[in-house]
């Protein structure tokens, strides 16, 4: 099996990654960044996010495993003191995996050129220096004219991040759905929005058509773009999926409880 260990720049993560690489090589694994079958990230959820975007052209042939060097994250099943157990699990691997939906983002710029992105967590359209104004279309039909700071479109796995902070619901990652959450919407006698998170069905899509001539900031996960005027952005469930090697994948609601409540401690 070809395995690659992807880590962040933290000292603890680098030490754990080096130790894990040595253990994998001693166990007979080929440790290489070229065409890996399993990518093991060492760090946190942000590290896994970076690895996802590095290998997003080969998602169908890669399974991810997360090792956390801090608090347990939503994408990490192993701790840095469990490296021997992880190597043992990899040696018994039979290709088992669990897949979660991703967000497909297609942008049409003002000059009619296009861009295509895939997000693991969420994508947003915002205006930092003033009110964002955009028409919202659902499956090609006009839904509302939004006024406010911005809109966040999230995947189920991303629903515990920015979307939750903006008042969105927490979705189980097995749901094939997207969520649109308003960011500080304006609601008065002139401007009205639903002012509630919206769950989008698997066969539907959301299109934003912002007022032209204004600079907007578009984000896709941790990447931010504001240098090109946007004509329209469409969001839907991607044809690609992210796959995790399922050795002892932690129950999703246990992750939520541990991250936000902590009553079991």
- Annotated binding-site residue? 121: yes
- Annotated binding-site residue? 245: no
Residues in Cβ contact with 26 at an 8 Å cutoff, skipping those fewer than 6 apart? none
The catalytic residue among 15, 45, 60, 221 is 45
Q: How far is CA 21 from CA 38, 82, 87, 132, 264, in A?
A: 13, 14, 10, 47, 34
Active site residue 45: yes
- Annotated binding-site residue? 106: no
- Annotated binding-site residue? 129: no
- Annotated binding-site residue? 73: no
Long-range contacts of range 85-88, CB-CB < 8 Å, 24 or more positions apart? 86/20, 86/40, 86/247, 87/20, 87/23, 87/24, 87/27
- Annotated binding-site residue? 184: yes
Residue 43 Rama label (left phi>0; alpha psi -120 to 50; beta): left
- Annotated binding-site residue? 161: yes
- Annotated binding-site residue? 55: no
Q: What is the DSSP letter of 34?
A: S
- Annotated binding-site residue? 165: yes
- Annotated binding-site residue? 77: no
Point out the annotated binding site.
45-46, 121-122, 147, 149, 160-165, 184
Point out the annotated binding site for NAD(+).
45-46, 121-122, 147, 149, 160-165, 184
**Which sequence positions are flagged as catalytic?**
45
């Amino acid at each position: 099996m070809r395995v690659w260990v992807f880590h962040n720049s933290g000292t603890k993560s680098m030490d754990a990654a080096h130790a894990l690489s040595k253990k994998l090589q001693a166990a007979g694994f080929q440790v290489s960044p070229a065409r890996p079958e399993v990518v093991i990230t060492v760090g946190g959820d942000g590290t896994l996010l970076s690895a996802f975007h590095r290998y997003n052209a080969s998602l169908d042939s890669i399974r991810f495993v997360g090792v956390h060097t801090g608090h347990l994250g939503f994408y990490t099943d192993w701790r840095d003191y469990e490296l021997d157990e992880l190597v043992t699990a990899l040696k018994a691997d039979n290709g088992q995996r669990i897949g979660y939906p991703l967000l497909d983002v297609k942008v049409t710029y003002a000059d009619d050129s296009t861009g295509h992105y895939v997000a693991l967590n969420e994508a947003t359209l915002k205006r930092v220096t003033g009110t964002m104004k955009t028409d919202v279309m659902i499956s090609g039909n006009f839904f509302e004219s939004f006024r406010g700071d911005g809109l966040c479109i999230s995947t189920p796995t991303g629903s515990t991040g920015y979307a939750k902070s903006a008042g969105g619901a927490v979705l189980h990652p097995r749901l094939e759905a997207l969520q649109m959450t308003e960011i500080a919407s304006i609601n008065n006698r002139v401007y009205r929005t639903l002012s509630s998170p919206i769950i989008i069905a698997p066969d539907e899509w959301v299109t934003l058509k912002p007022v032209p001539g204004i600079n907007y900031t578009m984000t896709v996960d941790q990447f931010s773009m504001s240098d090109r005027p946007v004509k329209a952005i469409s969001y839907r469930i991607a044809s690609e999926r992210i796959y995790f090697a399922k050795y002892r994948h932690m129950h999703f609601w246990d992750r939520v409880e541990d991250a936000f409540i902590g009553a079991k401690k």
